[in-house]
Amino acid sequence: MERKAFIRSFAIVALVPAIFLSACSSEKGKDKKKAGVKVQTYTCPMHPQIVQDKPGTCPICAMDLVPFEKNAAEAGLNLNDDQMALANITTMAVGLNGLQTYKQLNGRLVVNPDQTAFLSSRVAGRLEKLYVRQTGEKVRKGQPIYKIYSEQLAALQQEYLLAKAQATQFPADKTFGEILKSARSKLMLYGQSNAQVQRLESAKKTDPYVTYSALADGTVAELSVTEGQYVSEGSPIMRMEGYHSLWVEADIYPAEAGSIKNGERVKVVIPGWENEPQLTTIQFSSPALQENSQLIQIRGAIPNPSGQWQPGLQANIFVPSNTNKTGVLSIPVDAVIREGKGMHVWVASSKGKFEPRMVKTGLESADQVEIKEGLAEGDQVVVTGAYLLYSEYILKKGKNPMAGMKM
């Protein structure tokens, strides 16, 4: 019993200093807050709603928290030259311009049938060898495609050799000359080239195995046969597609058809290649509604020489409307930041200093937007890097740039 009492007394004596130190630390923290000492706070770069008064990690994404001044009173941001270069901050002076509005249509890229080639068997026989075995494979003009065994072609070759021998033995007889010409034409019609006919003349021996080559460049889109298969004359072998030119298709309602006519020039923008807009002409408008829908299809063609776009990609088609304005304040669309509290832009008030300013917009085109209120002619507006400034402001200030602002 005495031993237990001794251990209890020793534990109490050991804990008293720790409790005392903790109480002192707590009192010091309270004293700092009462004295108005600025306490460093920390937030997550990806989730600024996470705020605490000590370093740590974000409970959402586990990123390290970074320090910021939540109660900073200054409205703007100050950046040095290196920071502006890193954020790609560029500005432009607001001026009076003309504004052409567009109607946007959602479209898609599809294969241009003019660049589709169908390869079929020229003779009946057995496919001894397929040199192209899978779809998606690129084929060059003159590249061997398949080798076929054909008794029919062997008979035509024998007929040609006999006609050649007769014409050579009786050169003055025009009849034998016409027979030779006819036999040669048959071989050509069955896909034999001049080089193959010359080899036949040199060898003076028939060859039932014949190799056929591609007649044009393309990509194999469909393969209809297998090696060893018997095919008849005219049987499909494969379908090849060329992507050097693509169709752009869009669906519109009949009420819109009157405002979009054949021959009209429109702008096409493929998402991901916004800096490479394409101009095309509406070449076709469907005269009837699509089956099981109330839509009409329109289309045009765009060049694709480098093959950077593939059929199936989404495309935005901008059709000019009849609404035009002149002498309006307009800025690039990307300069305006849109959020739940409204729309604002960033204005360079001096070198390296940027301030948010709420604006009210009007007409909008594919790349320009009208500013009705909030800016004046000559203001220097940030046109690239605005969203980085917006994120930096929330990170450093801990509040929305539009907090407390009214239009």
Single-letter amino acid code for the residue at 160: Y
Cβ proximity of 92 and 331 under 8 Å: yes
Over residues 71-94, mean pLDDT: 79
Q: pLDDT at position 173, please? A: 85
Cβ atoms of 47 and 397 within 8 Å: the answer is no
**Rounded Cα–Cα distance for residues 343 and 331 (Å):** 13
What mean pLDDT comes out for the span 322-343? 80
The SS3 assignment for 145 reads strand
Q: What six digits make up the tokens of 12?
A: 């109490």
pTM of the entire predicted model: 0.53
Structure tokens at 336: 């305006």
Q: What is the per-residue DSSP string for 376-400? A: -TT-EEEEESHHHHHHHHHHHHSS-
Whether residue 184 contacts residue 197, with contact meaning beta carbons closer than 8 Å, is answered with: yes
Contact 153, 123 (CB under 8 A): yes
Q: What angle do CA 266, 267, 273 make, to 5 degrees?
A: 160
Q: Please say if the pLDDT value at position 103 is more than 70.
A: yes
pLDDT at residue 345 above 50?
yes
**Bigger pLDDT: 74 or 298?**
298
Return the closest-CA partner of residue 387 out of 353, 330, 337: 337
Contacts of 1 (CB under 8 A, 6+ apart): none
CA pair distance 358, 373, nearest whole angstrom: 8
Torsional sign, CA 376, 378, 384, 388: negative
Which strands sit side by side in the sheet containing 144-149, from one edge to the other?
209-213, 144-149, 125-130, 230-231
Distances (CA, A) of 195 to 119, 198, 199, 339, 349: 21, 5, 6, 70, 77
The dihedral of CA 217, 219, 223, 224: what is its sign?
A: negative
3-state secondary structure of 196: helix
Amino acid code (one letter) for 198? Q
> Which tokens hold the place of 307?
């093959």
CB atoms within 10 A of CB 399: 14
At 251-309, the pLDDT tens digits run 888 887 777 888 888 889 999 888 888 989 999 888 888 888 888 889 999 999 888 99
* pLDDT digit string, tens, across residues 153-176: 888 989 999 998 888 888 888 888
CA atoms within 13 A on the CB side of 245: 10
pLDDT computed for residue 305 by the predictor: 86
Judged by average pLDDT, the poorest of 214-223, 314-323, 340-349 is 314-323
Encode 72-83: b = buried (16+ Cβ within 10 Å), e = exposed.
Answer: eeeebbebeeee
State pLDDT tens for residues 111-167: 998 889 888 988 889 999 999 989 989 999 889 999 999 888 888 989 999 998 888
Q: What is the mean pLDDT of the chain?
A: 81
Residue 65 has pLDDT above 90, yes or no: no
Report the distance separating Cα 358 and Cα 259, nearest Å: 35
CA end-to-end distance (rounded Å), the chain: 80
Whole-angstrom distance, CA of residue 140 vs CA of residue 220: 11
Of the candidates 256, 257, 266, 213, the residue with the CA atom closest to the CA atom of residue 238: 213
Mean pLDDT, range 8-27, rounded to an integer: 46
Instruction: Give percent above pLDDT 90 in the chain.
Output: 19
Inform me whether the pLDDT recorded for 356 exceeds 70.
yes
